[in-house]
A and B are shown apart, each in its own frame.
Chain A
């Protein structure tokens, strides 16, 4: 996985390779993973939010009921 194992060898090469992160060449897979995580986050968080809003809506609290929840510290 390590792209660089010896900095002296790396920097004294005729042409110094710029990319030094682990797994150079696997960028496509990393982007695919990021894409799945991004879309997945939306799906999961949207479901969580819908459930939470539906549950709260069912309770039909009045517009001033929240005041009874104010804590005094």
Chain B
């Protein structure tokens, strides 16, 4: 950096992503509080520990291979050629955005005076990875082993969501080109994918003991600490602000980027390098949150657990198109997402005996899926990229956003990269006897021995006179 303006732009961008990372940490704090609030007393500490340990597990694997996958896989491989090198192979060449720079042995994956962006951008995506794994964590509480959860967290956090991000979020992703896929704030890329993954695990893991009566009627195992649930969800909302900012590029000159001769146009862009504004997405974030809360309050008849979760579901449903929607459209879409999530949750629970302890599949999976489908209709005809506008299935240019492409995209996210991998890995873990804790432990409580030791400690301290 030798000129002041260039240095300011670079360091502003570095600082911008750094701030988003710190804000997004609150998502994880919120998930931890929420899960502990939703779990029963005898499982509290293990529930918290499970969600805590995903932080190092996903972080280390994100460093070793997760980040590389994002940069290597936009073409599929083999599905649509890259706009950078016109090849449909993995992107591992010498180009500026090649995965070559993001292998763990790369000198850019460290303190490097020539690179102010890789680390903060890596971290922003890593926080998305934690979120993906944390979504799964809530659904499976009180009966999964920490070992199995660790493997599943790595699978969703450092492999499957990364592949879907390469396919449907990367500016060169094949889903943009072939399908006209658009998912600015990750209705599908994170939420539908992680929700589908959680559902796949739940189908193998089975319900908590006592969740269903002998006649198959579901019983409510409600949150044990509504205050933790409340504060947890509010922290998730807060971190979600950071997530929205992290999905944008704060300052970009689109004129030269799009090859427009003589045009200079500085703007913030979304992840696809198409223009939007922080101002606009702030309208939409708050209106979709409000729509979700309003709908959740009515449909659950004022149930606090569902009302707070519905605020989140509202944002998630509108997120795919929140870079372009009108705020009132965002609000209405948020409302629709909540109705879909709530109704689907109870239908699936009764029909398939699925015990989703915190409603994660509903809030993230069904609302995210619905959001993608709705986006296909509301943004029908908008370009999915600024680079070149083309037709579906061609692959050498970018299809416009359309309902069919978005529906197929939703299936790719929820089913292909979510449900199926979750189900297969859970089956393997179940097959080797490592998926679920023993029945006796589930009844006694995962924290039994910790609590017993604490009681003994307390007794000895209480009886001490010096």
Contacts and interface: CB of A to CB of B under 8 A. Distances in A.
Interface residues of A, number: 39
A20 B114 CA distance: 10
Interface in A18-38: 18-21, 24, 27-28, 30-31, 34-35, 38
B253 interface: no
A54 B438 CA distance: 8
B215 interface: no
Contact of A65 (B110, B439, B448): B448
- Chain A binding surface SS class: helix
B60 A71 contact: no
B147 A45 contact: yes
Interface in B111-155: 111-115, 145-147, 150-151
A8 interface: no
B274 to A, nearest CB: 31
A27 B441 contact: no
Contacts of A1: none
A53 B447 contact: no
Interface in B72-117: 104-108, 110-115
B440 A27 contact: no
Contact of B105 (A21, A31, A55, A60): A31
Contacts of B108: 18
A49 B112 contact: no
Interface in A56-71: 56-63, 65-66, 68-71
A40 to B, nearest CB: 12
A24 B113 CA distance: 13
Contacts of A52: 449
A13 to B, nearest CB: 11
B117 to A, nearest CB: 12
B10 to A, nearest CB: 13
Contacts of A14: none
A8 to B, nearest CB: 14
A21 B114 CA distance: 13
A38 B105 contact: no
Residue of A24, A59, A68 with most partner-chain B CB within 10 A: A59
B145 A27 contact: no
A27 B64 CA distance: 12
Given A19-B107, A21-B111, A38-B64, A59 B438 contact: no
A16 B439 CA distance: 61
B455 interface: yes
Chain B interface residue bracket vs A? 35 or more
Chain B interface mostly helix, strand, loop or mixed? helix
B221 interface: no
B149 to A, nearest CB: 11
Contact of A61 (B107, B440, B454): B440
B451 interface: yes
B64 A20 contact: no
B451 A70 contact: yes
A45 B148 CA distance: 11
B448 A56 contact: yes
A34 to B, nearest CB: 7
A31 B109 CA distance: 11
Contacts of A27: 104-107, 110
Contacts of B106: 27
Given A18-B113, A45-B147, A71-B454, A62 B61 contact: no
A16 to B, nearest CB: 6
A53 B61 contact: no
B241 interface: no
Given A31-B104, A57-B440, A61-B440, 4 more contacts: A16-B113, A19-B107, A20-B111, A45-B146
Interface of B: 41-42, 60-61, 63-64, 104-108, 110-115, 145-147, 150-151, 434, 437-441, 443-445, 447-449, 451-452, 454-455, 458
The 7 lowest CB-CB distance pairs between A and B, nearest first, are A18-B114, A61-B444, A69-B451, A57-B438, A27-B105, A18-B112, A57-B440
10 contacts: A18-B115, A19-B107, A19-B113, A27-B104, A42-B150, A45-B150, A50-B147, A57-B438, A57-B440, A61-B444
